[in-house]
């Protein structure tokens, strides 16, 4: 039962985020070279904007080649055979202020490796081993153009995603466990 104070709740603005955890979020089948959409709202979004799916398909293919080449390169620089390369990229959007902030950073074997400075669109290399990558990526015009996604394109996508996923994001109610049926067999021994 709700108490009367609950009816006068104040709903505060919410900060929304869009992040791509390339190592763990989403699914891209390397055999069919297509991403698998996991949410109904995303399927609806793609149905309304089929060109958006093309971007994901291209990223699915590009990321496989990019990560393989980058890992091979880093293994040589760090002189290692076991390795983990992670990318975290995306943006955050505050729906009250309208402010958005993009980010793109890489980790190698659990430590910060390189991060994009969106003010200058150049890379920051906290480790000496990342400096060669910084020089290469700073000089790559196509990469610099792609980095603008974090300033313009991704915030627009995030706003659209929030619009399509609003009912999913604002769902309420109790999460209940499915009913569990147990058959118990009681027996006794004849002595």
Give the per-residue pLDDT at 20: 55
Position 166 pLDDT exceeds 70: yes
- Ranges of each domain in the chain: 15-169
How much is the average pLDDT of 92-121?
91
189 vs 117: CA distance, rounded Å: 75
Q: Check if the beta carbon of residue 50 is closer than 8 Å to that of residue 56.
A: no
pTM over 0.75: no
CA dihedral 59, 139, 70, 118 (to 10 degrees): -60
Range picked from 50-59, 61-70, 98-107 for highest mean pLDDT: 98-107
Place of tokens 């791509």: 20
pLDDT above 70 (res 152): yes
Residue 113, token pair as written in the block = 């490796």
Q: Residue 190: pLDDT band by 50, 70, 90 thresholds?
A: very low
Mean pLDDT over 71-92 rounds to 79
User: What are the structure tokens assigned to 89, written together?
Assistant: 């990229």
Least confident window among 1-15, 30-44, 114-128, 133-147: 1-15
* Residues 67, 59 contacting (CB under 8 angstroms): no
What kind of architecture, by CATH, is found in domain 15-169? Answer: 2-Layer Sandwich (3.30)
Residue 97: φ, ψ to 5°? -90, -20
Q: What is the mean pLDDT of residues 36-57?
A: 81
> Six-digit token pair at 146?
């792609």
Q: How confident is the model at residue 133 (pLDDT cuts 50, 70, 90)?
A: very high
Q: Exposed, middle or buried: residue 161 (CB in 10 Å: 0-12, 13-18, 19+)? A: buried
């Amino acid at each position: 039962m709700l108490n009367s104070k609950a009816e006068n709740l104040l709903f505060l603005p919410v900060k929304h985020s869009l992040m791509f955890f390339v190592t763990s979020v989403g699914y891209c089948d390397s055999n069919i070279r297509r991403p698998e959409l996991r949410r109904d709202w995303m399927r609806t979004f793609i149905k309304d904007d089929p060109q958006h799916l093309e971007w994901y398909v291209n990223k699915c293919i590009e990321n496989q080649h990019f990560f393989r080449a980058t890992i091979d390169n880093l293994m040589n620089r760090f002189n290692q055979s076991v390795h983990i390369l992670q990318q975290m990229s995306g943006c955050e959007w505050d729906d009250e202020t309208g402010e958005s902030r993009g980010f793109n950073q890489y980790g190698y074997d659990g430590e910060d490796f390189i991060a994009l400075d969106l003010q200058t669109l150049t890379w920051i290399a906290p480790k000496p081993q990342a400096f060669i990558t910084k020089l290469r990526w700073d000089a790559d015009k196509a990469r610099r153009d792609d980095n603008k996604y974090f300033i313009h394109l991704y915030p627009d996508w995030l706003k659209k995603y929030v619009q399509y996923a609003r009912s999913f994001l604002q769902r309420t109610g109790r999460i209940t466990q499915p009913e569990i049926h147990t058959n118990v067999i009681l027996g006794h021994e004849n002595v």
